[in-house]
A = this chain, B = another copy of it.
Amino acid sequence: MLLDHNAQGVFAIAVTPFTPGGAVDTASVDRVTDFYLSCGVSGLTILGMMGEAPKLDAAEALAISRQVVHRANVPVVVGVSAPGFAGMRSLARGVMDAGAAGVMIAPPSSLRTDDQIVNYFAQAVAAIGADIPFVLQDYPLVLAVVMTPKVIRQIVMDNPSCVMLKHEDWPGLEKISALRNFQRDGSMRPLSILCGNGGLFLDFEMERGADGAMTGYAFPDMLVDVVKLARAGDRAAAHDLFDAHLPLIRYEQQQGIGLAVRKYVLQKRGAIAHDAQRAPSSTLSAGARAEIDYLLSRLARHDPRAKL
C-alpha cells in the first residue's frame, strides 16, 4: 500500500511514547496507534519532529516503525530527514521493507537559493531510490527554508515519487491556492496537500483546496470531523467545531512546550500511559497544566470528547 497523490483525510503525527525512565514504552506504542485509528485517521506519520525522532537510535527507530506498521491498517509515513543521505537511505529502505507507505523529507536549514532546494531533493531521491513515495515538508518557520510555489512545482515535476506536500508555510493560504492553480493550468500534476502547523489554519486551508491535515493536535478526531464537514461543504459546522478547539490548538502551538502539552492531553485521554519525553525534554509547570485543564473544561462544553 504505497502512498500516492490521492491521499486525503487526516494523517496523525504520532507521538513516541516513553516510560518515565526514558525507555520506549512499547505497550503504549500499540495503545496510541489504536487510539489514532479509533479517531478515524486515514494514515499515520511517525518519527516526525514531534515524534522525538532525533532521540532514537537507528535500531529503535526501525523497531518502532515495524511495530506501528504492523499494528495499523492505514498507510504509515515515516520521517527520514537526516543530516546526511546515508542515514536517510538506511532508514528509508528499512522502513519501506517493513511495510511503510512512504517517507517524509524536510530540507536542511542551510539551503538558501531556489536551485539549492531543487537540487537537494533530486539528491535525496537519488539516495533513497525513486521507488519510494515521499512527502515534501515545507515548514519555513522552523526550518528557515523558504520554497516558493514555483520551486515546489519544480520538485514535483522533477520527481515522480513526490506525491504529497506537508504544508506548513505560514502564512500559507495563498500557497495552497497557487498550487491548485498550477494543477488547473496544467503546469503541475496532481499532488496531495495535507496541512500541518498544528492545525491552526485548518478551517480555511480546507476551503483553499487542501486534502486534509497532517498534524499532531491531541484531538485528531476533531481534525477528522472538520475535514469531513469541510469536504461536505458544511461550512458553518466546520468552523463551529474548529473554533471551539481553537483556544487549545493555539495553546499547543507554543514552540518548545507544544509536545509536552500534546502528551499531557493524550495521557489524559488514555492514549499513552505516561506523558514522559526522553531527555532532553520540556516539562509543564503546575501553572501550565492548570491552564490546559481549564481549556479542556471550557472545551468540554462544546465537545464531550474533552471531558477528561
Contacts and interface: CB of A to CB of B under 8 A. Distances in A.
Interface of A: 52-58, 60, 82-87, 89-90, 109, 112-116, 119-120, 123, 126-127, 140, 145-148, 150-151, 170-171, 173-174, 177, 200-201, 203-204, 207-208, 239, 243, 246-247, 250-251, 254-257, 278-280, 285, 287-288, 291, 298
Majority SS at the chain A contact face: helix
- State the oligomeric state as a number of copies: 4
Given A173-B254, A173-B288, 6 more contacts: A57-B90, A82-B83, A112-B112, A119-B280, A174-B285, A246-B247
Nearest to A60: B86
Contacts of A288: 173-174
Contacts of A55: 84-86
Nearest to A110: B109
Contact of A114 (B114, B126, B171, B278): B114
A112 B256 CA distance: 14
Nearest to A172: B254
Given A58-B87, A114-B113, A123-B280, A177 B285 contact: yes
A177 B286 CA distance: 12
Contact of A246 (B171, B173, B250, B256): B250
A55 B57 CA distance: 17
Contacts of A57: 86-87, 89-90
Contact of A123 (B109, B123, B146, B279): B279
A171 B112 contact: no
A15 to B, nearest CB: 16
Given A113-B114, A200-B250, A279-B123, A255 B87 contact: no
Contacts of A256: 171
A126 to B, nearest CB: 7
A146 B87 contact: no
Given A82-B54, A112-B146, A127 B279 contact: yes
Nearest to A151: B113
B255 A171 contact: yes
- Which 6 pairs show the lowest CB-CB distances between chains A and B? A54-B84, A171-B254, A112-B146, A57-B86, A54-B83, A114-B114
